[in-house]
Structure 1
Amino acid sequence: MMNDEIYYNKERIREELNQDLSQDDSHRSGILFARRARLARGVGLAAMFFPIAGVLVTHFHTGGWWLLLVGWAFIWPHLAWQLACRSAVPHRSEILNLKIDAVITGVWTGLMGVTTLPAAALIVMIGMNLMGSGGFRLFIAGIMIMLLSTLATLQLTGTLVLRLPGPLEWGLTLPVLMLYPMLFAWVSHRTALRLAEHKRRLELMSTRDGMTGVFNRRHWEILLRNEYDQCRRSQCAGTLLIIDIDHFKTINDTWGHDVGDEAIVAITRQLQLTLRSCDVIGRFGGDEFAVIMSRTSAESAIAAMSRVHERLKNMPLPGAPAQRLRISVGVAPWGPQFGHYREWLKAADVALYKAKNAGRGRTEVAA
């Protein structure tokens, strides 16, 4: 018997999910990462064009700096996006783009003067992008790159480090300082919503059967263990059912696997229509199902299965109108004689084979 603490260890489940991620998933997540950075970069650099242009106009810098400014503000965001999209590893390419942003930020900081308001706004903007994209490590690396780039630019241009901002710089830069953090917060909010939805889908995939939508075996057994513990603590009633589609292999061999899938979905649908919303349905794989009926006696469970048997008698399959579905059911009410939830499960399984050996299409109760 397997060790439950190992089997249901959350870390192991996470590792299995991570192992299932394909190279396509990694590439897709890198593209999404680059797309988020593209929006922040495109809007932010376009907005910074005007404060930096104000400094260039005020201090009469040459035309080469204007060409750099136009290319950086309006061409570089699109070029960075294309470089990331065409890269085999988009995430790594986008990290490199962010470091290039830090280099250019250092150049403008050195050219405008370290204490100017546009330089401060630019450092804040790129710093937010670095922190939001790569955390503290990328932020520190980016700051170091900015510092080296700034010192190199100061050395080459001889720009004054201390320079007081004028009215033009205030007027052009304050809107950026006010609006860009709001844009960054909005992008972060959208990212958080996507991550929450992605997490919800992963959780759904890890607990549900892909064909029927009911619980898969692993998660269903977790719920069974919880129900067993609840019954043992409170001595309340509980009934376990194991259900098997009769002659399922014959259906597959005669009508094809598509009709076999129809049969599985049809049985699931009938169980959902007949049982209560609180009853826990699971698929064990293949043609076998299991149900946990909490606080329910064996008699009530048998009555519910009788209704399912009656429904199936008059329910044709769309792909095989002549085929009638039948199920065999094993029922095991909880009792103190079960020292482990797997013993309870075994009792229902024995009752199922008793139903099969008695002619199928019936419900049997564990002795």
Structure 2
Amino acid sequence: MMNDEIYYNKQSIREEWHDQLFLEDAYRSGIGFARRVRLARIVGLTALFFPIAGILVTHFHSGGWWLLLVGWAFIWPHLAWQRACCSSEPHGSEMFNLKVDATIAGVWIGLMGVNAMPSAALIVMIGMNTMGSGGLRFFLTAITLTLLSALVSLQLTGSLIQFSSEPLEWWLTLPILMLYPVLFAWLSHKTAIRLAEHKRRLQLMSTRDGMTGVYNRRHWETLLRNEYEKCRRSHCQTTILLIDIDHFKSINDTWGHDVGDEAIIAITRQLQMSLRSCDSIGRFGGDEFAVIMSGTPAESAFTVMSRVHERLTTMPLPGAPSERLRISVGVASWRPQFTHYREWLKAADVALYKAKNAGRGRTEVAA
């Protein structure tokens, strides 16, 4: 029998999980991208229907072109959306859809004889969509497809090149040239806000502990290193605290991990209520916390923790009313003798173990 721990620690299994998470994230991102393009496509093609229809009427084109125009303006946006949604790679499918947009736009440009106003509106729409979606290289690819399909359309339909636009064509096209960039800017703004929020959440996830909301160990040690350098330069008074929940394993074993989580959160809330907003609280381990009290001597830190000890004696846990939380605290102020911030941390750790050995539920200051 294969041991489960060995099995789940295999590199191949970890890589499989990583790949699966990456694919799921890529799929969600692709669907979001297709949804943004869908709105722009629906609005743009619906608005372009009218100037192109006006030219079809004046040039007496056959009914087949009318069917193509109706399908392109009112059916294609929804087909493109369904195609992206049903694909395992929505982003790639939507990029292909944009190439289709560029190709069909060229067909209409050729059929209209490169009529100035509708052609300009088509190129503006295709250019903004492709530049915003894939950058300069994709934009150049799409414009090349548009020009090639326009040339082919001119040859096959025998349309005469006529750059000038009639007043009706001006009035039907002008709103598109004015409003479509505004729509695109609005969609870009929404995307920028969403990305900024996503970045903010990632920053929180990288610096905060998920359960308590205080700093995680890695970020707290970064803050400690910065504080150490600050003290070394200006010899300011700063104290750090290491805090351990007494008999935490016994709480977990007796009452369950849910009550253990309640204990961790309760200690966090007591620290937040007792300390200043400028003090940096970190979760240093499973049941261990660390605090940086900038500009605070050890005596003041000792006084603050005495109040925390008193409050904990009268604070029951909802999941274990008979249980009383106790903490052991090690306190260490910065001293010029410290050659590294880890020596400072070690001094607080030694004071913490001194508190534990002296009976727990107390605060000890490093000698």
- What TM bracket, shorter-length normalisation? over 0.9
Q: Helix, strand or coil: the match of 2:284?
A: strand
CA distance in 1, matches of 2:198, 2:47: 32
TM-score, length-scaled by structure 2: 0.93
1:205 aligned residue: 205
Matched, 1:316 2:316: yes
Matched, 1:37 2:37: yes
Aligned-pair RMSD on alpha carbons?
Answer: 1.3
For structure 1, the residue ranges without an aligned partner over 5 or more in a row are: 1-17
Give the CA deviation at 1:20.
Answer: 11
Give the CA deviation at 1:36.
Answer: 0.6
**CA offset digits 1:234-267 (Å, max 9, x no partner):** 1110001000101111100110000000000000
**CA offset digits 1:294-330 (Å, max 9, x no partner):** 0000000000100110010000100000111000101
Which aligned segments of 4 or more residues in structure 1 are displaced greater than 3 angstroms? Answer: 18-22
Matched, 1:157 2:157: yes
1:235 aligned residue: 235
How many matched pairs? Answer: 350
Give the CA deviation at 1:19.
Answer: 9.1
For structure 2, the residue ranges without an aligned partner over 5 or more in a row are: 1-17
1:332 aligned residue: 332
1:275 aligned residue: 275
**CA offset digits 1:53-107 (Å, max 9, x no partner):** 1111111111111101111111111111111111111111111111111111111
Q: Helix, strand or coil: the match of 1:291?
A: strand
CA distance in 2, matches of 1:189, 1:344: 47
- Cα contact 1:243–1:352 (8 A) shared by 2: yes
Give the CA deviation at 1:119.
Answer: 1.1
1:175 counterpart letter in structure 2: P
CA distance in 2, matches of 1:22, 1:270: 39
CA distance in 1, matches of 2:221, 2:113: 66
CA distance in 1, matches of 2:24, 2:359: 50
Structure-2 change in CA distance of 1:66 and 1:20 (3 Å): closer
- Cα contact 1:113–1:119 (8 A) shared by 2: no
1:239 counterpart letter in structure 2: T
1:117 counterpart letter in structure 2: M
Give the CA deviation at 1:363.
Answer: 0.7
Give the CA deviation at 1:124.
Answer: 0.8
Give the CA deviation at 1:125.
Answer: 0.8
CA distance in 1, matches of 2:258, 2:26: 33
CA distance in 1, matches of 2:213, 2:350: 26
Give the CA deviation at 1:21.
Answer: 5.8
CA distance in 1, matches of 2:32, 2:310: 52
2:307 aligned residue: 307
Superposition pairs for residues 1-367 of structure 1, below 5 Å? 22-367=22-367
Give the CA deviation at 1:349.
Answer: 1.0
CA distance in 1, matches of 2:305, 2:183: 57
CA distance in 2, matches of 1:187, 1:322: 57
TM-score, length-scaled by structure 1: 0.93
2:10 aligned residue: none
- Cα contact 1:240–1:348 (8 A) shared by 2: yes
CA distance in 1, matches of 2:288, 2:191: 40
